[in-house]
């Protein structure tokens, strides 16, 4: 019903951005933060937040130049068609690899924790099909479902971490601001920027929002909310386990459920409670990736509908998700992915587009 009406409100944009960013990364975020910053790892997330806000501003400034044009069209106008098309294809590859690796991690965790006897391929294919189906319904449908699912994601999460506050040792966060190596801090803060992957989707959203002059404020608010939530979760997790225990845990945020005694034991499978927020987050991340990848495909081809290109993306992403031999290889691929495609599309491309637009004298004439 909503597939042909792709306009969304600013409220829906904020919720979508929050859910698109808040996905798989949160499960291992405390471990990565401790790896670079020890017990002060939460500080690195604040640095990553500051960096993401800076590049978010640059992305918004670029998108405002041709706010009614697609990413493919205005990239070609700024950089020339050959380079614009090449960058657009690279964006598709970035999105598809990201979705494939997230689905692989999702399937590995779900099979190990909950669905022990379910074939791996069924878990992966089910999530991919569900995300693709939602993506096929258009941007407005995604916005409407986000208004519902945001409560399903964050209410259980808030409840669990509120309960955990009463049984944590804040001495695990000491000494504050000590044992911080400046090089590791800068490196770690830069690495935390990639846990805000999803801000590059702002390149694509301007044609689908009527109040374009308010997009920058709305997206900034969304990033601040995500950053604060990430910082709180990481701080509580470090205080709960301590930096040494976290380094030996694969998924610290999920592990925290095993140490929490819910009052009255009124929930038999409390691990299912925390998995609810996580599964919904992955679903939103997958359907975001499928939607935007198909959108760029359609804008390059200039034919068909985005649903057609979703069908093309499904087997490619499914095949890529099976390439890594195990979960360790997946995380290694994700690190390489962050430092190649991540740096280019979050850091380099916004700056290049902004500088070239300024040099050529392009202004925000269409707003």
- What is the fold of 10-353? Amino acid/polyamine transporter I (1.20.1740)
- The count of other CB atoms within 10 Å of the CB of residue 328 is 10
Hey, CA dihedral for 355, 360, 361, 364, is it positive or negative? negative
Tell me the pTM. Answer: 0.88
Ordered per-residue pLDDT tens for the chain, 367 residues: 334 457 889 999 999 998 888 876 677 788 888 888 878 888 889 999 999 999 999 999 999 998 889 999 999 999 999 999 999 999 999 999 999 998 998 888 888 777 778 887 888 899 999 999 999 888 888 889 988 888 887 777 777 777 777 777 777 777 776 656 677 778 888 888 888 888 999 999 999 998 888 999 999 999 999 999 889 888 888 888 877 778 777 777 777 766 666 555 545 555 666 677 778 888 888 999 999 999 999 999 888 788 899 999 999 999 999 888 888 888 888 888 888 888 999 999 999 999 999 898 877 655 4
Q: What angle do CA 6, 7, 12 make, to 5 degrees?
A: 110
Q: What angle do CA 185, 186, 189 make, to 5 degrees?
A: 80
Does residue 282 contact residue 24 with C-beta atoms inside 8 Å? yes
Q: Which two tokens stand for residue 218?
A: 């709305």
pLDDT at residue 366 in the model: 52
Does residue 165 contact residue 236 with C-beta atoms inside 8 Å? yes
């Amino acid at each position: 019903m909503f597939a042909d009406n792709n306009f969304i409100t600013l409220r829906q944009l904020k919720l979508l951005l929050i859910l698109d960013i808040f996905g798989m990364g949160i499960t291992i975020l405390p471990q990565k933060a401790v790896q670079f910053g020890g017990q002060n790892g939460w500080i690195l997330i604040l640095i990553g937040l500051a960096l993401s806000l800076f590049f978010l501003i640059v992305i918004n400034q670029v998108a405002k130049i041709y706010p009614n044009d697609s990413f493919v069209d205005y990239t070609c106008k700024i950089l020339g068609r050959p380079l614009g098309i090449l960058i657009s294809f690279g964006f598709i590859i970035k999105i598809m690899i990201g979705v494939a690796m997230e689905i692989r991690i999702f399937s590995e965790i779900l099979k190990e924790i909950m669905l022990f006897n379910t074939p791996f391929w069924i878990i992966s294919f089910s999530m991919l099909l569900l995300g693709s189906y939602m993506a096929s319904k258009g941007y407005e449908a995604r916005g409407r479902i986000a208004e519902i699912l945001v409560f399903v994601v964050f209410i259980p999460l808030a409840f669990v971490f509120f309960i955990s506050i009463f049984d944590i040792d804040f001495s695990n966060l000491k000494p504050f601001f000590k044992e911080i190596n400046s090089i590791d801090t800068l490196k770690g803060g830069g690495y935390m920027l990639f846990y805000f992957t999803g801000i590059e989707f702002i390149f694509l959203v301007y044609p689908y929002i009527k109040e374009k002059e308010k997009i920058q404020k709305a997206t900034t608010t969304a990033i601040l909310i995500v950053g604060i939530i990430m910082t709180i979760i990481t701080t509580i997790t470090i205080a709960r386990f301590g930096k040494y225990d976290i380094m030996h845990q694969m998924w610290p945020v999920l592990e925290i459920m095993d140490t929490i005694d819910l009052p009255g034991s009124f929930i038999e499978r409390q691990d299912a409670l925390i998995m609810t927020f996580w599964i919904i987050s992955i679903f939103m991340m997958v359907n975001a990736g499928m939607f935007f990848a198909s959108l760029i495909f359609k804008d390059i081809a200039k034919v068909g509908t985005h649903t057609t290109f979703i069908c093309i993306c499904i087997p490619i992403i499914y095949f890529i998700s099976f390439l890594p031999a195990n979960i360790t290889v997946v995380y290694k691929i994700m690190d390489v992915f962050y430092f190649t495609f991540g740096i280019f599309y979050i850091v380099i491309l916004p700056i290049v587009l902004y500088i070239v637009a300024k040099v050529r004298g392009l202004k925000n004439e269409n707003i």
